[in-house]
Structure 1
Amino acid sequence: MSAKQEDLGSSQPDMTSKTSASTLPPPEKPNAIQTRFKVVAAFWAVILFLGFPIWWKTTSIYRAELPIQEMLDWAGGKSCRPVFPLEIRIDTPSLPDVEAQQLLRLTQHTLDDLNEFSAHHLRLKLANEEAQQTAVRADTALTVRLQAQDDLPSLRSELHAETTMLDIFYSPSQIPPPSSSNSPLASFIAAELQRLFAEEKAIMAHILSSNAVGNSAPSSNSQAQQISPQLAESITKRLRRSMKYAETYHLAFSLFTPGSAPSSWDIESAVQEYISPVIQELSPISNFTVDTQVQLYASFSPTTPAPEFDETYGVWTLKEENLSAFINAAEWPLNPSIGSGPTINFILYVPAPSQSPLVVKESKATSWIIPQWGGVFILNPPLPTTEDSDKSNLLHLPRDALRAPFLTFSHQLLSLLGTPSTPSSLPFRLQTLIRIRAATLLLSASSTTGSLARLTESLPSIPIPATVASSVATTLSHLSFACENLRNGQFQAALASARVAETEAERSFFEKSMVGQMYFPDEHKVAVYLPLLGPIGVPLILGLLKEVKRVVAGWKARRQGSAS
């Protein structure tokens, strides 16, 4: 190799190093490094001390403290075992105190032996013990009045239709002596009381067994097994067609006719005479409003089979299987709900003279109940004989013509509200309805409270406003009042407390802010934040890492320099 080639070879590295040195950026000045550090530090200071606290404050979920365990105890039946001690007053105007006390003890002992449902029991008390009453006085479920009659062949009872009083007619010779351990009169009274409260016991057993509340479930199940199949079927049917409890019901009475007549009716007087007394009796249980309307040219639905003429009976008939399509919901102006409460519709349908009389084919009935909706009554007007009678009979429905329909509507209303069918005394049945509603609302509010507790535990991301905590506290306090009133036999007070508890429980469970967050999972939050934080976060994180590496490298260089 020549010297010239050696000189060229040795000069190539020098040229490469000069070229690399000329392409490298100049070293950063200390002022620039310090400025960059301050900029990165300022951004992160704003994020950590201003941005993050604001984000945390504006996006944090407020969850009020709830007594979860207490709520679950109520739902599980651990806080309250519903009992129904019914106080029966015994009025013995013609008996001495000693004989009356002996009869009372024998009757109570017989009742206790017959009763196999411990949650529902009858407590007898003499009517002349008013002075010995304590501050807590139970409601009187029934008053039994013993009336002596000479030469009475057999014991006899009579329940008043307008009051809660039962008359027992007996012969003075049937009074048990003080040393007697049994008495036909005591057995007769106990049997009559068992008969009067048999349906109520069956309904209570059905309600408690359906909810399986605490220790009452086994006894209620054994009681349910002893109910006759006919009574069990009747109770199930009644509960299925009755409406859910509401604090306010709206009663809508409608007159429908396929033609132009009748165009008016004495609805105010009919409601005042036949409906208002029932509403007044039901006032401790619910409130009611009344609306009326008249609809002319109300034709059947096109999909409804037309009435058929029965030549054997000379009537037009509707099949039972087509009754569900009788209401023309598409064209008849029936509001499904007015205000906050449910609407109970009562339809008075006056068929055209060409299709009158109109009855149900199988039963020849002219009325029926639509479960959880209302009732229908077909009013067949008398067939006119002349033109004058046609106009006078069909253009207007007087109060006398409305008697049968509105008496039927009053019975349908009681059935739709879940009133027992026995006994014949309406006040007695309404007292039973008060106890049934108190038990139903107590169990319903307890169940709703437990559902709210499980919901808040399973969804920790939903907010719990302070209003929900307040409603829960109100619910639990009124549940305690209702349970205590049930134990004391104060059923109207128990119903009032249970109504408040049910309202507050429903309000807390269906809180709007909570319901909205139930359908906003965490995946949605990630999808919202990533497009916003990605373009901003990557430069900030890379700048921070670069500054950290520079500081670490400087610290290592200073450490090596000090070591050397």
Structure 2
Amino acid sequence: MKVRPVLSDPEKQRGRSAAVAIAALVIAAGIPLWWKTTETYRAWLPAARIGELEALQLELRVEVEVVFARGTLSPEQQKKVPASRMREQQQQVDDKTGLKFTYETRFRTATVMEEDALNQPTAAEADHALHTLTETSCGSVVIYIIPEASALLPQDMRVYVGRSRTALLRSQVASVVGAGLPEVLAALDPQMEQVLQTMSFNHQDVTAALTDRLRPGLSTRDSLADSMRAFKSSPGYEITFSLLNPDPKHHQLHWDVEAALDAYIYPLLHKMAPVANFSVDSQILYYAVLGVNPRYDASASAYTLSADSLAHVINPVEARLGSNAASSNPVLNFLLYVPDSLHSPLIIRNDQKQEVASNAFHSPRWGGIMVYNVDGAYGNDTQFPVDIAIDMSRVMGVFLSQLRLMLGFQQTGAPPGFVLEAAGREGVAEWELDRLLWSRSVENVATASASITSLAQLLDQIANIVINDNIAQQVASAVTALQAAVAELEAGNLALALEHSREAISASERAFFDPSLLHLLYFPDDQKFAIYIPLFLPMCVPILLSLLKIFREVQQHRAEKRAKRD
């Protein structure tokens, strides 16, 4: 028979005090310390400012200056021009985009130097002279109203749009006798609206830029085709020019690609510097063949590639172009293919079975391919390999037009009576670049706001994802840049708006694709308890049993006291 040791009252008291002290230490310090050290770190995010992005309302403001040349206004009308106030015309777009457009128009008469420029023999010379006189801001438009009898424009030409941000508009109503200035301006509104739709952004540009955000069924066919053809906005692009020589035993090709890039490509990329960063390289690939076998057409005495087979041409060639894994930027590929002697000449035919004049085609969001035939290089006494000097002016002319399409320069259809001056050596007119900047700014704002709101919703739904300080900083920077871009768009500062929108989209992408969001740096609460309960339970059971025993003894002691009193 076991005999339990009898504990004295002081010893029992010390035991009770130790159990209570350990329990108090575990509850007051242990549990909070464990909870704090195992919780997920989540830096503060500007939730209120992010919530405002969902209801973001964009407003685009364009500064328009209308200059009346001598002979377009009567003396009475001319006196009222300096006193005429700035007029704003605000137009709400349809439900497709919800954007607001504001044209801020100012009116004035031409200066003496501008009158001298308008006296040039041709409209092109007048446009160049006006460009040197006036400093136009990015996104603005200057319209010069010239008399109906002016010799600058032929009689069948109503509007001349130059390479800069200026246009010459032949006035047919401004010189009406007895008409007041308000009537003159009202009569000019339809003509100026056509000029603005040509030189500045229009609804189709904005719809194409916001195609990914439109509800299904709202995007038009033209805007969808334009958006699918061009690359989406990106901080940078990689451009690769490749010369494909499938028959090096018979062809020894020579191409002065560096000089061609300096003459045709680099001027355009220099103008595109505010939009993105570009890197250009070139290469020569030997024994690179197309993925399809061309068919011989006896009527044309040439081999042909139909439009149906063009989709199968790219895949075998693409495997030899090299990997772009070193960069996350989109790659634009431009391939120059010289057919071998057994399949030459090689022509491309469109869907209507007609020969393509450029003998080239492009693939949306990929690049373009041009087939370069060697005419008259073969004869009965031909000695191989044949030295072939490629005409780079013809090649780069085709690649330049394809590059414009890939970068988002939409083909502008001139209204009747309009003449659009050729872009020239730089490959793009200033007003064409402005149209692209408008659409890119809107696209960047829409993309960045969608990325930030999606990231905020994800972090709100999954409470255990780690939000480190770097992500919080990138999110705050993106929200600040977005608000600045929207403010600059409303103020009409297109260059600053584009700069802030690029900062916003870069910061939002860095936050959205941060590697820390994908690592297993967190785990749900049920896993937390499943891991720690086996560790803490053996320690907690004696403490709980001691507390339970103390509670029973206290209850028994109170019952004995009540019994003695009774």
TM-score by length of 1: 0.77
Distance 1:171 1:552 in 2: 104
- Asked if 1 retains the 8 angstrom alpha-carbon contact of 2:173 and 2:188, the reply is no
Paired letter, 1:542: V
Paired letter, 1:84: R
The reply to whether residue 90 of structure 1 matches residue 67 of structure 2 is: yes
Paired letter, 1:382: D
Distance 2:312 2:159 in 1: 43
Distance 2:318 2:211 in 1: 40
User: RMSD across aligned C-alpha pairs, in angstroms?
Assistant: 4.0
Q: Which moved more, 1:402-411 or 1:169-178?
A: 169-178
Distance 1:273 1:279 in 2: 11
CA 322–150 in structure 1, closer or farther in 2 if over 3 Å, else same:
closer
Q: What secondary structure is seen at the aligned counterpart in 2 of 1:381? A: coil
CA 454–470 in structure 1, closer or farther in 2 if over 3 Å, else same:
same
Map Cα deviations across residues 174-198 of structure 1 (whole Å, 9 max, x no partner). Answer: 4564537645973673364155258
Map Cα deviations across residues 229-259 of structure 1 (whole Å, 9 max, x no partner). Answer: xxx4332211112111111111111111212
Paired letter, 1:446: S
Q: In the alignment, what sits opposite 2:296?
A: 309
Residue 468 of structure 1 deviates from its aligned partner by 2.6
- Asked if 1 retains the 8 angstrom alpha-carbon contact of 2:211 and 2:227, the reply is no
Q: In the alignment, what sits opposite 1:190?
A: 192
- Asked if 2 retains the 8 angstrom alpha-carbon contact of 1:384 and 1:390, the reply is no
Please, which of 322, 325, 336 is the counterpart of residue 348 of structure 1?
336
Structure 1 residues 278-427: aligned runs within 5 Å: 278-300=268-290, 304-327=291-314, 328-329=316-317, 331-361=319-349, 362-365=353-356, 366-386=359-379, 394-398=386-390, 401-422=391-412, 424=420, 425=423, 426-427=428-429
Distance 1:482 1:173 in 2: 38
Q: In the alignment, what sits opposite 1:19?
A: none
Distance 1:438 1:113 in 2: 20
- Asked if 2 retains the 8 angstrom alpha-carbon contact of 1:88 and 1:144, the reply is yes
The structure with the larger Rg is 1
CA 76–329 in structure 1, closer or farther in 2 if over 3 Å, else same:
farther
Q: Which moved more, 1:550-559 or 1:307-316?
A: 550-559
Residue 352 of structure 1 deviates from its aligned partner by 0.5
Distance 1:60 1:172 in 2: 75
Q: In the alignment, what sits opposite 2:125?
A: none
Residue 265 of structure 1 deviates from its aligned partner by 1.8
Residue 127 of structure 1 deviates from its aligned partner by 5.8
Map Cα deviations across residues 136-177 of structure 1 (whole Å, 9 max, x no partner). Answer: x96453332334464879573353553333223458994564
Structure 1 residues 497-512: aligned runs within 5 Å: 497-512=500-515
Residue 396 of structure 1 deviates from its aligned partner by 4.7
Q: In the alignment, what sits opposite 1:67?
A: 46
Residue 99 of structure 1 deviates from its aligned partner by 3.7
- Asked if 2 retains the 8 angstrom alpha-carbon contact of 1:156 and 1:168, the reply is no
- Over the matched positions of the two proteins, sequence identity in percent amounts to 21
Paired letter, 2:198: L
- Asked if 1 retains the 8 angstrom alpha-carbon contact of 2:481 and 2:504, the reply is yes
Paired letter, 1:464: I
Q: What secondary structure is seen at the aligned counterpart in 2 of 1:317? A: strand
> Between Structure 1 and Structure 2, how many residues are aligned?
506
Residue 294 of structure 1 deviates from its aligned partner by 0.6
Q: What secondary structure is seen at the aligned counterpart in 2 of 1:516? A: coil
Q: Which moved more, 1:331-340 or 1:96-105?
A: 96-105
Q: In the alignment, what sits opposite 2:158?
A: 157
Map Cα deviations across residues 389-434 of structure 1 (whole Å, 9 max, x no partner). Answer: 7668x54534xx1222211111111111211211545322211001
Paired letter, 2:188: A
TM-score by length of 2: 0.77
Q: In the alignment, what sits opposite 2:516?
A: 513
Paired letter, 2:542: G
Q: In the alignment, what sits opposite 2:480?
A: 477
- Asked if 2 retains the 8 angstrom alpha-carbon contact of 1:479 and 1:501, the reply is yes
Q: Which moved more, 1:203-212 or 1:140-149?
A: 203-212
Q: Which moved more, 1:482-491 or 1:357-366?
A: 357-366
Q: What secondary structure is seen at the aligned counterpart in 1 of 2:303? A: strand
Map Cα deviations across residues 88-142 of structure 1 (whole Å, 9 max, x no partner). Answer: 4435255568545778999x99x96999778234443346699xxxxxx964533
- Asked if 1 retains the 8 angstrom alpha-carbon contact of 2:236 and 2:278, the reply is yes
- Asked if 2 retains the 8 angstrom alpha-carbon contact of 1:367 and 1:378, the reply is yes
Structure 1 residues 163-242: aligned runs within 5 Å: 163-169=164-170, 174=175, 177-179=178-180, 182=183, 186=188, 189-190=191-192, 192-193=194-195, 196-197=198-199, 200-205=202-207, 207=209, 211=213, 232-242=220-230
Please, which of 247, 267, 275 is the counterpart of residue 235 of structure 2?
247
Residue 316 of structure 1 deviates from its aligned partner by 1.0
